[in-house]
Amino acid sequence: MKAISVLGSTGSIGTQTLQIAKEFPTQFKVVALTAGQNLDLLTEQIKTHQPEIVGLAKEDNISELLDRLNNLSTEEKPNVLPQIVGGTEGLNMAASWDHADLVVTGIVGCAGLLPTLAAIKAGKDIALANKETLIAAGPVVLPELKRSGSRLLPADSEHSAIFQCLQGTPWAENARLSTGIPTPGLRHIQLTASGGAFRDWSSADLKHATVKDATSHPNWSMGRKITVDSATLMNKGLEVIEAHYLFGLDYDHIEIIIHPQSIIHSMIELADSSVLAQMGWPDMKLPILYAMSWPNRIETPWKRLNLSELKQLTFKDPDTEKYPCMGLAYSAGKSGGTMPAVLNAANEQAVALFLNEEISFLSIPKVIEATCEKHKDDLQANPQLEDVIAVDKWARIEVQEIAKKQSNLFSTTI
């Protein structure tokens, strides 16, 4: 029985993780949950999973959650009420909870950085969904992993695919553990991309893209921020940086390929020119389960893949002009140091402004590019945690300033 903590339990990754825990009660026991604002769902989750500790993003919500739990009927009330904590310290405490073996990181954005670091410092294994943490703070996270011996198990579907393919390379012990050290024999990675919400739109039509359009993903059901990242293809750019830190390949050997069916979740080419791919239906439960059960596999009754049902799998190169975010991510990754943190924070802020209908869809890459450009002279090659936090804060303010100053250029078209 593995004891798990779920950070961001009320989100898309969090709820799917809890479905897995419920489906396989002899394999997993939930000991800690953390969440942002959704107290209704969190209360239900506490009733079902009876965790030992619950962390809330906002300390102000502690008393309301306690009231809700105290007012449950005798039948509904957990046998033992969890300890409820809040704020940064509270989230860190829940993330590093002593009784947990594995921490699933489903917080969205750089807000996941401190709790993930707390879990790593406590020596917990990490099922990493919260890619922004690694992208913004790779140079901080990787040495911490080495110090604590905690292991980063990818839950992002592409990186899980690569990780699964690497299990068959016995000489690549570090590949089995995703430590960011170059993986012997791994020559090339092909990250597959569905193409996002606008894959069948012309570049000209993107001018009129609305929030509703950008948040309707053709293949995957995910949180709003990552769905917009998929529409701009920034998600794939961020995943290139994630792959660089996880598997230690340089950027010239990490490639993006559009695969609209999302059946092949990524491919690796090995030194002998053999190519391995991992396949499955587009269902995040599979990569999450693998990260939770690694190095074992759990028998599931889930829908089996039948290729004749699909008839064909297709591929094409991505359109880098239509989707400038990919190029911005490669460029930030190659610059290294604090630049990926700036790219990530600028993207988070730009997406938030877009979701708030304050800037247009096509403005997202423009504000990110301008922010990264401005950071060039201040780039720090070997950042510490404080440097990452400082540039993250700076970039968010910068995006707002740029959007404000250039309201004509960036005004929404909706």
Footprint of ligand NAD (CB under 6 A): 8-14, 35-36, 38, 57, 106-108, 111, 129-132, 156, 220, 222-223, 225-226, 284
When the beta carbons of 183 and 344 are compared against ligand NAD, the nearer one is 344
**What residue 57 binds from ligand NAD, Mg ion, none (CB within 5 to 8 A, per partner kind)?**
ligand NAD
Q: How far apart are CA 148 and CA 163, in angstroms?
A: 21
**What residue 284 binds from ligand NAD, Mg ion, none (CB within 5 to 8 A, per partner kind)?**
ligand NAD
When the beta carbons of 158 and 269 are compared against Mg ion, the nearer one is 158
Q: Which residue is nearest to ligand NAD, using beta carbons?
A: 11
Q: Are 371 and 395 spatial neighbours (Cβ–Cβ below 8 Å)? A: yes
- Name the nearest CA neighbour of 288 among 217, 381, 222, 374: 222
When the beta carbons of 11 and 337 are compared against ligand NAD, the nearer one is 11
Residue 105 beta carbon to ligand NAD: minimum distance, rounded to whole angstroms: 7
Residue 115 beta carbon to ligand NAD: minimum distance, rounded to whole angstroms: 7
Residue 278 beta carbon to ligand NAD: minimum distance, rounded to whole angstroms: 15
**What residue 36 binds from ligand NAD, Mg ion, none (CB within 5 to 8 A, per partner kind)?**
ligand NAD
Residue 241 beta carbon to Mg ion: minimum distance, rounded to whole angstroms: 12
Q: Which residue is nearest to Mg ion, using beta carbons?
A: 156
Q: How far apart are CA 77 and CA 63, in angstroms?
A: 17
Residue 153 beta carbon to Mg ion: minimum distance, rounded to whole angstroms: 15
When the beta carbons of 92 and 130 are compared against Mg ion, the nearer one is 130
Asked if omega into 154 is within 30° of 0 (cis), the reply is no
- Name the nearest CA neighbour of 90 among 4, 3, 7, 2: 7
Residue 287 beta carbon to ligand NAD: minimum distance, rounded to whole angstroms: 8
When the beta carbons of 158 and 387 are compared against Mg ion, the nearer one is 158
Q: Mapping DSSP to helix (H, G, I), strand (E, B) and coil, where does residue 186 land?
A: strand
Residue 276 CA from chain centroid, whole number: 23
Name, in order, each residue with C-beta under 8 angstroms of 341's C-beta and a sequence gap of 6 or more. 110, 135, 136, 137, 383, 388, 391, 392, 395
At residue 196, φ and ψ (nearest 5 deg) are: 70, -175
**What residue 11 binds from ligand NAD, Mg ion, none (CB within 5 to 8 A, per partner kind)?**
ligand NAD
Residue 285 beta carbon to ligand NAD: minimum distance, rounded to whole angstroms: 10
Name, in order, each residue with C-beta under 8 angstroms of 44's C-beta and a sequence gap of 6 or more. none
> How long, in residues, is the chain?
414
When the beta carbons of 14 and 333 are compared against ligand NAD, the nearer one is 14
Kindly list the residues in this chain that would bind Mg ion in the complex (CB under 5 A).
156-158
* Angle at which helices 363-375 and 234-247 cross, to 10°: 40
Name, in order, each residue with C-beta under 8 angstroms of 293's C-beta and a sequence gap of 6 or more. 2, 27
When the beta carbons of 264 and 370 are compared against Mg ion, the nearer one is 264
When the beta carbons of 132 and 387 are compared against ligand NAD, the nearer one is 132
**What residue 277 binds from ligand NAD, Mg ion, none (CB within 5 to 8 A, per partner kind)?**
none
- Name the nearest CA neighbour of 342 among 107, 159, 141, 132: 132
Residue 406 beta carbon to ligand NAD: minimum distance, rounded to whole angstroms: 28
